[in-house]
């Protein structure tokens, strides 16, 4: 099942901190997140709204609005370059070419006044020394690979002529046209219907198995994580609270938040009479509670949680958790 | 005492078409058949789930039942009276009996009204109680949905999404209705908040003996809240069954595909049926069975003849030529 | 009608104190915009000047024969004056004095007094004409959106016709026929200037009408009147305030432009009238034209800044 090799780390994010300096105060959107992406695996960043998962993804390519956003600490190491601190010029060579990003809203990510073909071919010619005909040929092949049957016709369509699922495919095609090593997808399954969601998940699965692509998959849905992920980073309040292989996250969650999240998820594969729910609500990123950010909602809270940030504890080599119960 | 056997709400062959016009003469060029001949019933204290993908007409159906949209054809029988012909005055009385909870808690509250004003609005409209009684009712309602009484003077922008949805529920409960149409009440909420709201709705149903028509696109949510479930596709109900029967033994190929598409925590429990293509436009639904262009079991008959919704076993109806006998 | 008023009053009474907090929320949002605060401060200052100023300055029609074409304080100019005794033109140097801080015009009228009374006229024209336009526009816009159907069609076609009419030519025509009276000018601007408001209010109401809270009110059994007065109008008021703020400078400028081409009311010293007189003596007394010009510029800027600030503060999507 797990085809990735353990030592082949392609991207390493270490203690990343991205703050937004707004007039109303400092929003610590990402406040110390560490993980590594291995060659050929699908790593899921999972959490609720405001947990910092999207900002983490944007921080890897420094694509958040700046100002007010700024990376105030940590490193993002790719190919022995620190993307968090390298000059813009160097970063631009990585963006799209080495690491591609698919944004959340498929609707607005495509320019409505250009045909799909124009947009894909333009993207290719920016990064690759191709003629228009060569680029066109490559685009058609890529679209076919993504499961779009009449690729030649689709190239002449405008975005509004495509359905949500098709747009998602076109976006993935666009991000693949420079053969990136890493693909970051931000909630690609959120706004689509169930049957389309299955198609999109299937497509990502193909990418992983056929192209050996390394994926960072951002979602709020643990069931989607279970379907597609190899390993998962559970995020809460701007921090990575638990990192483990997906099977372990689902079957033996260590952090009280992960456990709570699983218990409050209605799921077809389980019988349940009543859902457990986590009391309270996720914290406002501009007013994070002190200590462990989860402590106001945590059923297993102890005194130390209120004041001290929990350190990263190792349950096993592959399973890390940020909680005082394991420290 | 109401008759146990008589359903609270009976919908018969309900249709809602949106006419499409063109040119300055407003020439009629076709209909968008959002709801096209739907029949079902909801019993007292029962919760019926209505599930389908976007554009299948489930939301339109919910709004038509409240007559927020005027039906094009068919009957809506509530407690034995056909409410499709009620005049404005009688309709206002009906509002006390049937209420709605909306999908987007942000949009369903007037941004210029406090929470208290919003919750008390139904009481003001129907002239129920004086100031003091309303205030008592308000406190009771706020507690019922898990809000603090002192939050009554807050504005919607001062609340979180989950809290706003609690306000929406409190407002729907204020008139002590018998039936609540819940139109995707949790789809805009975070997972941990979603569970809170679902539990709240179930608790309220137990305490007040309400009936729900629960509309959702998420089968996992529907499975949790609804005892009986209707699956809609392109304006029609394709399958209607008890929860256990539907999830254990789905008969319609669309239901089967839908169930297999839902991502689950334990993958591989169900063999995945990947549907090809997308839902066709309701302006030009395919002839015969509307699902036939995407159906893996399509037969010649499906292209010509529209299958009727037939009860194939006790309480399990399906509209499919595979299950005609 | 009566019942509605009563009930509306009741549910407001039960939860008092909320409106103030809402206002202070919008104030805080707007206060982050410095230009808007500058605009507001200037408008308040101008309003104070217009209200209280005339009590402290001399009568603007009073003529000081001793001091014609006096420059403002701090400026010295060379003037050639006809001297009766010697029957010659003599050249003298004249400096501004504190008696006339902003100087005088060629008739010897005090500029400060004229500017102050001009402020009163210009603000009056701006507020009154905008008020008329906003009321007509709001009524037509809300009616059009809420009633829909053929009423909507008829009202909007009427608006289209009004819009295609050359507004300024119409003004000129009215003034030409009825004579240059300030009341007519205000009425004419008000009665022709509502079209933009009507369109904006209609489109806003249309989008509000489909918002879920309006549907929720209907689902609760609210009457049409309640939906319009309790839900639609309170929610378009923010838009109306913004339109009003942004259209006041246009009205003030329109009046000034009319005066400038000689169609203003000569009995009332508006800034436009002063400006028009100043253009004849630009070479000898530049300040007569420049001073009302600066006031017009500052006023228009102030209203525009305030309008922008208000729009951002009211817009739930903008993140100020």
Residue C164 lies in a domain: yes
Q: Is residue C15 part of a domain?
A: no
Task: Indicate whether C92 belongs to any domain.
Answer: no
Q: Which of A44, B194, A301 is nearest to A293 (CA)?
A: A301
A-B contacts (CB, under 8 Å): 123
Residues of B in contact with A195 (CB under 8 A): 53, 257-258, 261, 275
Which CATH number does the domain housing residue A224 bear?
3.40.50.300
Could you tell me how far CA C104 lies from the centroid of its own chain? Answer: 27
Residue A90 sits in the same domain as residue A238 = yes
Task: Give CA–CA dist B321/B301, Å, rounded.
Answer: 7
Q: What is the 3-state secondary structure (H, E, C) of B31-47?
A: EEEEEEEEEEEECCCCE
At residue A147, φ and ψ (nearest 5 deg) are 85, 25
Same domain, A89 and A229: yes
Q: Both A218 and A170 in a single domain?
A: no
Q: Please check the confidence at residue A7 and state whether its pLDDT lies above 70.
A: no
Residues A187 and A175 in one domain: no
Does A172 lie in the same domain as A303? Answer: no
For residue B122, tell me if it sits in a domain: no
- Return the residue of B nearest to A196 by Cα: B278
- The answer to whether residue C29 sits within a structural domain is yes
Query: How far apart are the two ends of chain C, measured CA to CA in Å?
Result: 40
How much is the pLDDT for B280? 80
Residue B150 lies in a domain: no
DSSP three-state, residue B204: helix
> Do A187 and A295 sit in the same domain of this protein?
yes
What pLDDT digit, counting tens, does each position of A163-218 carry?
777 888 888 888 888 888 899 998 888 777 888 888 888 888 888 888 888 999 99
Find all residues with CB under 8 Å of A270, minimum gap 6, and list them.
B265, B266
Q: How many domains does one find in chain A?
A: 2
Give the bridge partners for B99, in sequence order: B180
Quote the pLDDT of residue A6.
53
DSSP string, B38-72: EEEEE-TT-EEEEE--TTSSHHHHHHHHTTSS--S
Residue with tokens 């002839």: B287
Q: Which chains contact C through at least 3 pairs of Cβ atoms less than 8 Å apart?
A: B
Which runs of consecutive H residues, i.e. helices, occur in chain B? 58-65, 88-94, 115-125, 131-144, 161-173, 191-208, 219-225, 243-248, 253-261, 300-304
Is A2 contained in some domain?
A: no
Is A45 a member of any domain? yes
Say if residue B244 is exposed, middle or buried (CB neighbours under 10 Å; 0-12, 13-18, 19+). Answer: exposed
C74–chain B Cβ distance below 8 A for any pair: no
pLDDT higher than threshold 70 for residue B4: no
User: Residue B235 domain-assigned?
Assistant: yes
Question: Is C13 in contact with B131 (Cβ distance < 8 A)?
Answer: yes
Q: What is the pLDDT of residue C17?
A: 46
pLDDT at residue B77 above 80?
A: yes
Contact call for C316 and B95, based on CB within 8 A: no
pLDDT-based confidence at residue B171 (cuts at 50, 70, 90): very high
Of C18, C221, C234, the CB nearest to B92: C221
Residue C130 maps to a domain: yes
Sheet holding B73-78, edge to edge: B27-42, B9-22, B73-78, B81-82
Is C118 within the bounds of a domain?
yes
Mean pLDDT of A55-75: 88
* Residues A142 and A136 sit within 8 Å (Cβ to Cβ): no
Model pLDDT for residues B87-123, shown as the tens digit of each residue: 888 888 888 899 999 988 888 999 888 899 999 999 9
pLDDT, tens digit, for every residue of C114-126? 888 888 888 888 8
Please check whether residue B199 lies inside any domain of the structure: yes
Average pLDDT for B116-135: 90
Residues A217 and A319 in one domain: yes
Whether A89 and A119 share a structural domain:
no
Would you write out chain C's pLDDT as a tens digit for each of its 320 residues?
Answer: 333 333 333 344 334 445 677 778 788 888 888 888 999 999 999 999 888 887 887 777 777 777 777 778 777 777 777 777 777 777 777 777 777 777 787 777 888 888 888 888 888 888 999 999 999 999 899 889 888 888 888 999 999 988 887 777 877 887 788 877 888 888 888 888 889 899 999 999 988 888 888 888 888 888 888 888 888 888 888 889 888 888 888 888 888 888 888 777 777 888 888 888 888 887 778 888 888 889 889 999 999 999 888 888 887 655 54
Q: Which of A179, A205, A234 is a domain's end point?
A: A179
- Find the domain containing A67 and state its range: 9-98+183-191+213-326
CATH label of the domain that carries residue B84: 3.40.50.300
The percentage of residues in chain A with a pLDDT greater than 70, rounded to a whole number, is: 97
User: In the prediction, which pLDDT does C319 show?
Assistant: 53
User: Do A225 and A297 belong to one domain?
Assistant: yes
The sign one gets for the Cα dihedral B163, B165, B168, B174 is negative
Q: Which domain holds residue B208?
A: 9-97+177-323
In the numeric block, which tokens belong to residue B38? 């739907």
pLDDT at C15: 43
pLDDT for residue C5: 37
Does the distance separating the beta carbons of C220 and B99 come in below 8 Å? yes
Q: What percent of chain B has pLDDT over 90?
A: 49
Residues of A in contact with B279 (CB under 8 A): 193
In a domain, C6, yes or no: no
The count of domains in chain C is: 1
- Note whether residue C89 is domain-resident: no
Which residues form the domain of C40? 22-68+101-314
Total number of domains constituting chain B: 1
* Residue-level length of chain C: 320
Among chain A residues, CA nearest to B280? A163
Q: Is residue B156 part of a domain?
A: no
Alpha helical stretches, state H, A146-221:
151-155, 164-176, 194-211
Task: For residue range B184-234, list pLDDT tens digits in order.
Answer: 998 888 888 899 999 999 999 999 999 999 999 989 899 999 999 999 999
pLDDT for A282 equals 86
Distance CA B158, CA B167 (A): 12
């Amino acid at each position: 099942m797990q085809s990735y090799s353990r030592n082949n780390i392609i991207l390493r994010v270490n203690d990343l901190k991205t703050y937004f300096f707004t007039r109303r105060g400092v929003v610590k959107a990402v406040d110390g997140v560490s993980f590594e992406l291995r060659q050929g695996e699908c790593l899921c960043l999972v959490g609720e709204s405001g947990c910092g998962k999207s900002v983490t993804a944007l921080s890897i390519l420094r694509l958040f609005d700046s100002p007010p956003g700024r990376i105030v600490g940590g490193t993002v190491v790719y190919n022995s370059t620190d993307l968090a601190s390298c000059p813009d010029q160097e970063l631009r060579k990585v963006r799209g070419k080495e690491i591609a990003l698919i944004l959340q809203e498929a609707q607005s990510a495509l320019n409505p006044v250009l045909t799909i073909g124009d947009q894909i071919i333009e993207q290719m010619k920016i990064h690759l020394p191709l003629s228009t005909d060569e680029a066109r040929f490559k685009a058609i092949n890529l679209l076919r690979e993504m499961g779009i049957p009449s690729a030649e016709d689709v190239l002449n369509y405008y975005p509004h002529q495509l359905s949500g699922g098709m747009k998602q495919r076109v976006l993935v095609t666009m991000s693949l046209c420079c053969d990136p090593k890493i693909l970051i997808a931000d909630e690609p399954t959120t706004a689509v219907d169930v049957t389309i969601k299955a198609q999109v998940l299937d497509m990502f699965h193909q990418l992983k198995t056929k192209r050996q692509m390394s994926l960072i998959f951002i979602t709020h849905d643990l069931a989607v994580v279970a379907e597609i992920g190899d390993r998962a980073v559970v995020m809460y309040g701007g921090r990575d609270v638990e990192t483990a292989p997906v099977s372990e996250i689902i079957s033996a969650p260590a952090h009280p938040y992960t456990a709570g999240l699983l218990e409050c998820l209605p799921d077809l594969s389980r019988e349940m009479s009543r859902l457990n729910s986590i009391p309270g609500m996720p914290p406002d990123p501009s007013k994070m509670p002190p200590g462990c950010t989860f402590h106001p909602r945590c059923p297993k809270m102890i005194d130390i949680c209120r004041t001290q940030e929990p350190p990263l504890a190792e349950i096993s080599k592959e399973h890390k958790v940020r909680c005082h119960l394991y420290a | 005492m109401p008759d146990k056997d008589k359903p609270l709400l009976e919908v018969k062959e309900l249709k809602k078409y949106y006419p499409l016009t063109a040119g300055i003469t407003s020439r009629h060029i076709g209909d968008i058949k959002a709801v096209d001949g739907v029949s079902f019933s909801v019993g007292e204290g029962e919760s019926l789930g209505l599930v389908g993908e976007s554009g299948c007409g489930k939301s339109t159906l919910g709004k038509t039942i409240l007559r927020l949209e005027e039906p094009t054809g068919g009957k809506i029988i509530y407690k034995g009276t056909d409410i499709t012909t009620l005049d404005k005055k009688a309709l206002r009385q009906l509002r006390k009996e049937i209420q709605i909870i909306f999908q987007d808690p942000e949009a369903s509250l007037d941004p210029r009204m406090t929470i208290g004003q919003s919750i008390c609005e139904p009481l003001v409209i129907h002239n129920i109680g004086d100031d003091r009684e309303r205030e008592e009712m308000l406190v009771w309602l706020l507690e019922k949905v898990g809000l603090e009484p002192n939050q009554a003077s807050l504005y919607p922008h001062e609340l979180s999404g989950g809290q706003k949805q609690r306000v929406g529920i409190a407002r729907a409960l204020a008139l002590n209705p018998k039936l609540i149409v819940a139109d995707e009440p949790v789809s805009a909420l975070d997972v941990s908040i979603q569970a809170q709201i679902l539990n709240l709705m179930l608790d309220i149903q137990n305490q007040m003996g309400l009936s729900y028509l629960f509309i959702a696109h998420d089968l996992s949510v529907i499975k949790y809240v609804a005892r009986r479930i209707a699956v809609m596709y392109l304006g029609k109900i394709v399958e209607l069954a008890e929860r256990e029967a539907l999830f254990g033994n789905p008969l319609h190929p669309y239901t089967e595909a839908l169930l297999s598409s839902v991502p689950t925590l334990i993958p591989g429990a169900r063999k995945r049926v990947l549907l090809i293509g997308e839902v066709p436009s309701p302006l030009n639904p395919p002839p015969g069975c509307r699902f036939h262009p995407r159906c893996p079991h399509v037969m010649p008959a499906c292209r010509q003849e529209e299958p009727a919704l037939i009860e194939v076993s006790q309480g399990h109806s399906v509209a499919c030529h595979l299950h005609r006998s | 009608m009566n019942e509605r008023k009563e009930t509306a009053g009741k549910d407001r009474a039960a939860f008092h104190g909320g409106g103030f907090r809402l206002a202070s929320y919008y104030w805080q949002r707007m206060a982050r915009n410095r230009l808007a605060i500058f605009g507001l401060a200037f408008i308040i200052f101008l309003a104070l000047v217009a209200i209280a100023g005339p009590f402290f300055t001399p009568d603007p029609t009073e003529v000081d024969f001793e001091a014609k074409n006096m420059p403002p304080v701090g400026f010295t100019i060379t003037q050639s004056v006809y001297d009766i005794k010697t029957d010659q033109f003599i050249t003298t140097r004249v400096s501004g004095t504190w008696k006339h801080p902003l100087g005088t015009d060629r008739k010897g009228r005090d500029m400060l007094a004229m500017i102050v009374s001009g402020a009163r006229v210009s603000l009056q024209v701006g507020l009154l004409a905008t008020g008329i336009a906003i009321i007509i526009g709001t009524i037509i816009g809300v009616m059009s959106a809420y009633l829909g159907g053929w009423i909507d069609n008829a009202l909007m076609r009427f608006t289209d016709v009004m819009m295609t009419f050359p507004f300024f030519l119409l003004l000129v025509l009215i003034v030409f026929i009825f004579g240059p009276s300030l009341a007519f000018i205000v009425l004419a601007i008000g009665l022709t200037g509502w079209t933009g408001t009507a369109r904006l209010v209609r489109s806003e109401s249309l989008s509000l009408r489909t918002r879920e809270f309006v549907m929720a009110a209907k689902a609760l059994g609210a009457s049409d009147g309640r939906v319009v007065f309790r839900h639609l109008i309170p929610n378009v008021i923010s838009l109306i305030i913004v339109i009003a703020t942004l259209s006041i400078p246009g009205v003030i400028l329109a009046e000034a432009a009319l005066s400038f081409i000689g169609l203003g009311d000569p009995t009332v010293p508006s800034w436009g009238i002063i400006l028009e007189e100043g253009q004849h003596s630009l070479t000898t007394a530049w300040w007569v034209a420049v001073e009302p010009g600066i006031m017009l510029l500052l006023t228009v800027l102030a209203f525009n800044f305030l309008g922008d600030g208000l729009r951002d503060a009211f817009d739930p999507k903008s993140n100020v």
